[in-house]
Structure 1
Amino acid sequence: MTAAPAHTPEAVLQALRENQSAPNGPLRNARAEELVAAAESTGDRDLVRKALFELIAAYEFSTERGRMLVPFARLMQEWDKDPSAFDQHDVHRFHWMFKWVSSGMLTLPEIPLATVERWLSEMERRYRTAGYSERAVRQAEFTLAHETGDAERAARAFAAWTAADRDSMADCHACELNDQGRYRLHQGRTDGALDTWAPVLDGRSTCAEEPHRVLAESLLPLVRSGRLDAARAHHLRGHRLARGNESLLPAIGRHIEFCALTGNEARGLEVLAEHAAHLPADGNPAARLDLLGGTLVLLRRLLALGHGDQPAVAYGGSPRTVAELHGLLDAEAAAIAARFDARNGSTAVSERLRDRLAQEPLVERLPLGVRTGRLSAPRGAAPAPRETVGDAPRTGTAEDLPELVAEARRLRALGHPRTAEVWDRVAAALAAAGQAPDPLLAADLLDRRALAAAQAAEEAAGPLFQDVLEAYRAAGDPAGAALAEQRLAVAAIRGGAEPEAVRDLLARAADAARTLDEAEPARTRRVAAVELLRIRYEAMRREEAGDDGGAWTDAALAEFVATYAEGDGVDDLVGDAEQLRADHAWRSGDPERADALLASAVRRIVGAGRPWDAAEHLARRARLLLDLGRVDEAEDAARAAVEHGAELVDAGGSAALRTTLAEVLYRQDGKEAEAVAHALEAAHRWDAAGESAGPGAYARMLLAQALGAVGRHAEAAEVLESALPDLLKHGDEHVVRARDALARSLRALGDAEGAAEQYLRAAEVTAAWEHQGAHAQLATLAAECLSDGGLDDDAVAVYRRAVGLWETVGDPVSLARALRSLAWLEARGDFVAARRLMDRALAAVAADGDPQLLLERARTWSQTAQLVMEAADARAEDEEAPGGDASGGGGLATAGQESLALLDRAVAAAAALGPAGLDERGQCTGRAAWTERRLGRVEAAVSRVRSMIAAIGPAGTPDEERAVERLEFLLEKLTEAA
């Protein structure tokens, strides 16, 4: 049997370095433990110390924080034996870890309070001996006092902590502000806490775990302060930062709690599911209690809503419902809190847990913008009452029944969107009074039931409308019967009835309308409505048969408009006909005529006193105007659509209006922030309409793009990642748009590899498109991201693909840029190949007459000059290396002359562009000056710069002023170097 090879110190040291960058968690911890044993096997005490440091750090940022005590005790023995064996860096780390151990002891209820106090004293003694400030010690004392419920001692320690000098042992400023803000929040000073956290939240003070933790801590204070937009943003941003990080499980608990108290229970369950594996982790009882606390807030809220049977997450090896999981975790959390109380000699921990679990929801619903699942219907739940016109829902009474009936009939005559709600109140009033309706009212209520069935696409709608027809006839209301005939025809059309059956029903409806008494106010409206319905149906039949029928439809609608343009009470129907004609004109390539028709339709419908019916037409007009490039008018139309649609009760209808306004605003520079608000509201309303996966996904894409445009990339990425599975079903154009937006946000967040993946996936989609410009652009962006992420080989391969695509597309500017980027990657190993690529880039833009090509030639000459100098430097380094070739032959001087010649050509090209080339000309002049300086020709360098300053002359434009300022600064540097 072959023995395992002995560990070498070099191999162990390399493994320690690799483990430092590994994800926090059990695997990193286990590897760190192995490396301590490996270090010991080498007999190298310095290596053992390094391994112990790594093991302690691994424990600190995991759920096994309590295990750091043993390796730190060993490290302290090493220190006490020979402090001189620790280098300056390790001396600092050793004392720094005292703080970890001190706070770590507090997280373990089995460690007696007396032991914690002794350790604090030991920490104070060693810090004093080492010459450190007492700031860190007093902070540790404050934490001990606060956690154990000693308010007086906590106040004294807090004052001493914040008054002491900051030194190298003090926590980073961001972490200190976190603790200080939490203390002020504990004192009931919400505004004081938020003010304290402000430098962390706005990015002025950060560290490895901040603002992650402060973002979580700020959630509920922000909601309580009414700053809902900030709370939403902090959740999306903070959850993204904390997700999957074992050392941030308390923050995850805060995010779950936030979801529970803002009407986002389904989102809370999703966050819990991501971290459910950590629920039983007991290596850090304090952190576990924080996670359990937030989880229990959510579970209690779900129980209160009747979702006890809702599947939650697996626990103890078995799937659990909400009720089951609550029962298990409630008992465990109480037991952990009791253990802390017993150790601390107070009830502080249990009281905090009790207060946390007793919280009531802060808002009914705070839309977050992300796509979440839906909770199953609670057992035995009754439908929630809906908002009614003017007032909150109320139960009708016998006394107000006549008024309610009159109001319902008035709203029905107007076609008001909230008519159904008032009829429901009428029905409730009848039930409350124990009355039976008269025949006419019974027919009205039956009509309400039939319309609800039709809206829900129930098969019973047709038979119900037949019953409505008979009920109105029996009640002696021929106008109501005529309307029921029309609705029977509509139900047949929606149900896919045979054409002849539909035509028979339309003929019956027309006859019923025409036979109404001439004095009947509704006669003209009934006749016109049936005629418009007939035209729409016949147009649909022609389209289904493959006969465009556009000319027939337009002619029929024109005749309808001419017939009823002066009709009494049918202006809205005439407007609907004009809208249909507008749609035909738009499809036929006459957008200006379509716009005029839509504008007329809106005027008629609004003039008829039915603004809610004009809202959709206004939204159509906004989209048309946007296509025509008349953005200001499009915005006016979109805003009017939202205003006129204020009465709509259909969530999908109002969501569509908001989506249109959001898109119009997003297309305008400077209005993206307002687009965020409308897209967020649109997504929320699409969710309410049950359309999360359809138009709701598009609204989320708009939301993410607008968020990205205003620099809120973490929120944008969170929203897009939640919506991407839905967007993938929306067609190639949406897929590419979504992946491009996600890539932009990931790149802004520093995730270059993730951005490259999204660009490449989008490029795969566009590879099948006829025009390859989008494919080439996405490949180029992917290559840039791969290069940014240090994946040079992959970047080279994708750049080569992009170069081939740009050659196919015939875009010389983009081709030259891709070739130059590829050249710089090749230059890391092969300057000859890189120079050939630069020459190809120059050839791509060699044509005369195009200013953009001339600018690209200048840039290519300038970058080739840089490449020449870097190649010379690389050769010089090789020649100086042991065994190198010393036959350089004056390489630097030769390269310098070639570089200057290239830069002179670049300067001349940029100068020929006039003001458009000023910036490039200045950069090239600066590079030439430094090249002269490297060749020892300081006077020539200065002369170049002064010549350009003189050429610019008295600075007139802001660009010229900036150029002169930069050149004068360059002169100072050149003089200093001389």
Structure 2
Amino acid sequence: MAEQKTQLDRLLEEIDRTPWGPQEQALVAEAVALAQEIGDEQLEYQARMRQTASANMGGLTDLMLSSFAWCLAHHDADPARFPADIDNGAADLMWQFKWMASSLRSSPAFSPEQIAAVLDDMEAHYRTAGLGMSGVLMARFEDAHAAGRMDDAERLRVQLEATPRDSHSHCDACGRSQVAGFFADTDRDEDAIRLVEEMLEGGFSCGEEPEHALSVSLLPYLRLGRGEQARAAHLRSYRLAKDNPDLLTAIANSIRFCALSGNEARALTLIERHLPWLAHDALNAQGHFRMLTAIGTALDAVTAAGHGDTPVRGADSPDLERFFGAHGGADGTAWSAAELAAAAWAAAERIGVRFDERDGTDNHARRLQFARTTAGDRYDVPIRSDVFAAPTVDATPTDDEGWYRRVLDLAGYGAAADTLDALAQVIDRVDPDRRAVLTGQRLAALVNLERIEEATELLPDRIQSLRAAGRDAQADVEERFGLALFGTATAADNAALAELFAASADPSGPAALTPAARGDIALTLAFEFGDEDPAAALELSEQAAALFAEAGDARLGHGAEIAAAMALLRAERVDEALARIDALLADPAITRGVRARMLEMRARVHGGRGAFTEGAADADEAGRILAELGSMSRFAGAQMLAGALWEDAEEPEQALARYRVGARLLEQHGGDVAGAKYRVARSMLNSGAVEEAAELFGEVLQLEEADEVPAGSRAMTALMLARALRAAGEGGQAYGAFGYAAELFGEAENPADQALALMNRAQILAQYDERDQAIETLEEAAALVRRAEDAPAAVVEVLHNLGQSYGAQQDPRAFALFDEVEAVARANDADWVVADVTDSRARAMLSAERVDEGVAAALTASDAFAAVGDAQSAGGSALLAARALNGGGRSADAVAAYRAVLDQAADIPPLRQIAALELGDVLQGLGRDAEAGEVRRLAED
């Protein structure tokens, strides 16, 4: 028993250290079960009080209500053994009372009488405990607002303002958030925003704030024409709320904002991501109503934007049938946006009717009517995180000829799965010659997909189709070698094929074969030898091309030209390969699939040569062709290639456009979604869309965590997330992300990047004036980075930062670090770094009042910067020297230094202006007024 109690104590301590969420919920459930096993009701009370708070934060209303009822009953029976407040944050019965009426109000399963009884019981307990009425009034205000009794709500709000706050009042964040929502619902947008902005400016927060309040402010901001503030509020609100199912209403507000602000694609993405939350809390019907209304609004907007046929992923989950019903699509397709919009509106209406019948009002009917009336409102507030897949021309074949050409197109590109899908439409409806072609394409596609057993079973049909087409020689070879001719050849197979190829060269000999059969062997061997012997592969490819020309088979001849180009590339004969590719692209007889394949190949060649724009254009054209062919997964790949080339061409906006489409297609059709979204996020960061970048990097990190991606890869994503958060002004979150990145880099045994992550963490600490902790973190980073001998850049950066921090504290250890940094820089010919660390040395000396040495170092740094062409930094170091001389009473000496700044600042107007004005003051102080006036005129140029 004692051992179990010790275990329970440890569990409770761990619960108190663990953030809200699934892990914490599991610990609480374990603690309750252990207390029950022990049979100690006081210990169970300790666990259940935590469970009530945990369930409230996790949106587990059933559990919250039952846990609270158990605790309240025990408290009322024996307040001494079961005190209302167990000194554990939100584990306070009187505080938890606030959640009860709200939870009952959120479900029409509870009657008005039950809700009123809870509110009355709350007031009675507060009075008995000697507490003020502020918390009770707020609970009654929330109830009246939610029920649509707006006059009562306004009266209670005014009364609440006049009531003194006490220890059990709503916190500053929650109180403002609730009243802001009421103001927004009663056409007082400016008042709503004022309360939210007061919350933000005051730094008020709690478990679900400011994310909920920010979501409340979205429509008021839009209606007042403050789109940029609305955009920022949405991005921050969503980033904070996206992992907490209890914030379903906040997510609904964000979805509705996206629909009204012209971000229909983003609205669809958010719907797909959060649809499962509808099934999370069966009692949160109020949240369901808000979410369903938002879904209806958003999907109507998607439909109006021309994408009503877009499938909504996840909508067919059995868990959602109680909202939408079973999907009646006879073809087994998913819910389309247009279909789900209608189902969402209908579900919202059903829930609204139940609420209004319970409350005896038309509150929900009016809310629904308002939502429908305003669903068509539009405010232009672009957010670039999501995009619809580009609409394509409907080029679905309408006859057997079209399907046959489609198969050849897809096979020519190498889209095996799409080839098989198209084959099924036509293979049994063509003549023997074409069937022989199609059975070959089928085997090649199956082998490509490693479906060897299926290919083996279909091999006899292939042989039979060849003989039916009169191609007995080919049938004999394939009967002997089987799937070896389609990509499964062993070394022994290749040797036998080479022997047969040589023996069949004599057209009158016993092993003679037709040119087409010999060409097929040569082409098979060319692809087999491509990696290990490019020269042999090239020779075989050219022989194959000649044999197919003799046989009059242009299609296979094109395959031989592809093999030749690949062999030339492997042999690093790039110019010759490019000439082959150009020649093939100039042939009007090639299939569209071969054209797309060659365009992609040429795009990669261009990229390798630094001709990024030309390569991107080729990749774009390849993507257009693949979209027409209906190969959406391959289209996605082409989009990602084009995005990479545009990114290399330093065109982040062009890259972003391709990456977004590619990522959306990969989500729909399968592929490396995390990798694609990482590229989208990186492009956004590079183009300045830092808030969207932070959101996406966070999503990528979650995907990587779920897929158990190696720690090193996750660390890079966490690092990029931290950088985006920092750029977005979210210092606290960035601090945590840098810490997580450092932890992952440590797990991956990468001390250089671990040290850099810690260095960034230290910079944030310094930004918030936590200088001692910042230096401790930098010292930890320095100890790590010294182990990274193969990463001089990281060594320099971390040690330099620590030296600068020491210098700012007048700690003499700075100078040994500067010496160490300079030595590493000189060893690696990093002249700019030498100049930079010399500038840091000067600043540290001046901070320590070593003026002569500091000035000399600053001027040395200026000369060094100038020598490497960095006029801006050269002028900055000279300005440092000039100010030090002037501040040290050596104004005459400062003049020369200021003139050095002016020389460096000839093409840098801001620096020239500062130096001219300061030099003018110095000259005037020396009595050289004419010179002062002349210099000051430079500031006006």
User: Under a length normalisation based on structure 2, what TM-score does the superposition of the two structures give?
Assistant: 0.61
Paired residue type of 2:356: D
Aligned partners of 1:859 and 1:115: how far apart in 2?
Answer: 68
Quick check: 2:800–2:821 contact (8 Å CA) kept in 1? yes
Structure 1 722/672 Cα, relative in aligned 2: closer, same or farther at 3 Å? farther
1:271 has 2:253 as partner = no
Structure 1 310/549 Cα, relative in aligned 2: closer, same or farther at 3 Å? farther
Structure 1 514/529 Cα, relative in aligned 2: closer, same or farther at 3 Å? farther
Structure 1 30/445 Cα, relative in aligned 2: closer, same or farther at 3 Å? closer
Aligned partners of 2:437 and 2:865: how far apart in 1?
Answer: 77
Matches within 5 A, 1:781-800: 781-789=757-765, 791-792=773-774, 795-800=777-782
Secondary structure (helix, strand or coil) at the match of 1:958 reads: coil
Counterpart of 1:967 in structure 2 is 915
Secondary structure (helix, strand or coil) at the match of 1:831 reads: coil
Q: Give how far 1:721 is off.
A: 1.4
Counterpart of 2:604 in structure 1 is 623
Secondary structure (helix, strand or coil) at the match of 1:609 reads: coil
Matches within 5 A, 1:420-439: none
Counterpart of 2:522 in structure 1 is 531
Quick check: 2:137–2:156 contact (8 Å CA) kept in 1? no
1:308 has 2:285 as partner = no
Equivalent residue for 1:757, pick from 703, 727, 739:
739
Secondary structure (helix, strand or coil) at the match of 2:453 reads: coil
Paired residue type of 1:903: V
Quick check: 1:99–1:140 contact (8 Å CA) kept in 2? no
Aligned partners of 2:608 and 2:843: how far apart in 1?
Answer: 41
Aligned partners of 1:487 and 1:754: how far apart in 2?
Answer: 64
Paired residue type of 2:142: G
Aligned partners of 1:508 and 1:360: how far apart in 2?
Answer: 73
Counterpart of 2:727 in structure 1 is 748
Q: Give how far 1:975 is off.
A: 11
Aligned partners of 1:144 and 1:854: how far apart in 2?
Answer: 61
Matches within 5 A, 1:580-595: 580-588=563-571, 590=572, 593-595=573-575
Structure 1 499/668 Cα, relative in aligned 2: closer, same or farther at 3 Å? closer
Matches within 5 A, 1:180-191: 182=219
Aligned partners of 1:169 and 1:718: how far apart in 2?
Answer: 25
Equivalent residue for 2:540, pick from 543, 548, 556:
556
Runs of 5+ consecutive residues of structure 1 not aligned to the other structure: 1-17, 42-47, 82-93, 128-136, 148-153, 184-191, 204-210, 216-233, 314-321, 324-328, 362-366, 372-386, 395-403, 431-436, 517-521, 769-774, 869-895
Counterpart of 2:648 in structure 1 is 667
Structure 1 122/917 Cα, relative in aligned 2: closer, same or farther at 3 Å? same
Equivalent residue for 1:657, pick from 617, 638, 641:
638
Equivalent residue for 2:142, pick from 94, 104, 110:
104
Paired residue type of 2:274: V
Aligned partners of 1:792 and 1:831: how far apart in 2?
Answer: 14
Map Cα deviations across residues 823-860 of structure 1 (whole Å, 9 max, x no partner): 35557988344455445556666899974254134313
Q: Give how far 1:532 is off.
A: 1.0
Equivalent residue for 2:228, pick from 172, 188, 199:
199
Quick check: 2:427–2:438 contact (8 Å CA) kept in 1? yes
Equivalent residue for 1:861, pick from 841, 848, 851:
841
Structure 1 976/723 Cα, relative in aligned 2: closer, same or farther at 3 Å? farther
Q: Give how far 1:168 is off.
A: 8.6
Counterpart of 1:950 in structure 2 is 899
Identical aligned residues as a percent:
16
Aligned partners of 2:805 and 2:268: how far apart in 1?
Answer: 49
Structure 1 250/776 Cα, relative in aligned 2: closer, same or farther at 3 Å? same
Quick check: 1:337–1:350 contact (8 Å CA) kept in 2? yes
Paired residue type of 1:966: I
Paired residue type of 1:906: A
Aligned partners of 1:114 and 1:308: how far apart in 2?
Answer: 41
Quick check: 1:662–1:678 contact (8 Å CA) kept in 2? yes
1:831 has 2:780 as partner = no
Paired residue type of 1:466: P
1:909 has 2:890 as partner = no
Between 609-618 and 244-253, report the one with greater CA deviation. Answer: 244-253
Q: Give how far 1:662 is off.
A: 1.5
Structure 1 724/600 Cα, relative in aligned 2: closer, same or farther at 3 Å? same
Quick check: 2:525–2:537 contact (8 Å CA) kept in 1? no
Quick check: 2:289–2:348 contact (8 Å CA) kept in 1? yes
Structure 1 566/605 Cα, relative in aligned 2: closer, same or farther at 3 Å? farther
Aligned partners of 2:663 and 2:360: how far apart in 1?
Answer: 51
Quick check: 1:528–1:570 contact (8 Å CA) kept in 2? no
Quick check: 2:561–2:584 contact (8 Å CA) kept in 1? no
Aligned partners of 2:193 and 2:666: how far apart in 1?
Answer: 52
1:612 has 2:593 as partner = yes
Matches within 5 A, 1:409-488: 457=451, 459-471=453-465, 473-474=467-468, 477-478=469-470, 482=474
Map Cα deviations across residues 265-309 of structure 1 (whole Å, 9 max, x no partner): 99757636679765546xxx855753576699999x989975427
1:899 has 2:902 as partner = no
Counterpart of 2:663 in structure 1 is 683
Q: Give how far 1:461 is off.
A: 2.8
Query: Would you say how many aligned residue pairs link Structure 1 and Structure 2?
Result: 757
Structure 1 700/584 Cα, relative in aligned 2: closer, same or farther at 3 Å? farther
Paired residue type of 2:519: A
Aligned partners of 2:320 and 2:181: how far apart in 1?
Answer: 39
Q: Give how far 1:200 is off.
A: 1.8
Runs of 5+ consecutive residues of structure 2 not aligned to the other structure: 1-15, 26-48, 57-67, 81-86, 106-117, 165-174, 202-211, 300-310, 324-333, 336-343, 377-382, 927-941
Q: Give how far 1:641 is off.
A: 3.4
Aligned partners of 2:683 and 2:741: how far apart in 1?
Answer: 19
Secondary structure (helix, strand or coil) at the match of 1:478 reads: coil
Structure 1 275/753 Cα, relative in aligned 2: closer, same or farther at 3 Å? farther
Paired residue type of 1:198: G
Counterpart of 1:596 in structure 2 is 576
Aligned partners of 1:448 and 1:817: how far apart in 2?
Answer: 57
Counterpart of 1:4 in structure 2 is none
Q: CA RMSD in A?
A: 6.7
1:116 has 2:153 as partner = yes
1:704 has 2:684 as partner = no
Aligned partners of 2:244 and 2:315: how far apart in 1?
Answer: 31
Structure 1 777/919 Cα, relative in aligned 2: closer, same or farther at 3 Å? farther
Aligned partners of 1:525 and 1:843: how far apart in 2?
Answer: 68
Equivalent residue for 2:620, pick from 631, 639, 656:
639
Quick check: 2:855–2:881 contact (8 Å CA) kept in 1? yes
Q: Give how far 1:783 is off.
A: 2.0
Between 944-953 and 716-725, report the one with greater CA deviation. Answer: 944-953
Structure 1 455/112 Cα, relative in aligned 2: closer, same or farther at 3 Å? same
Q: Give how far 1:651 is off.
A: 3.6
Q: Give how far 1:462 is off.
A: 3.2
Counterpart of 1:818 in structure 2 is 798
Q: Give how far 1:910 is off.
A: 0.9
Secondary structure (helix, strand or coil) at the match of 1:460 reads: helix
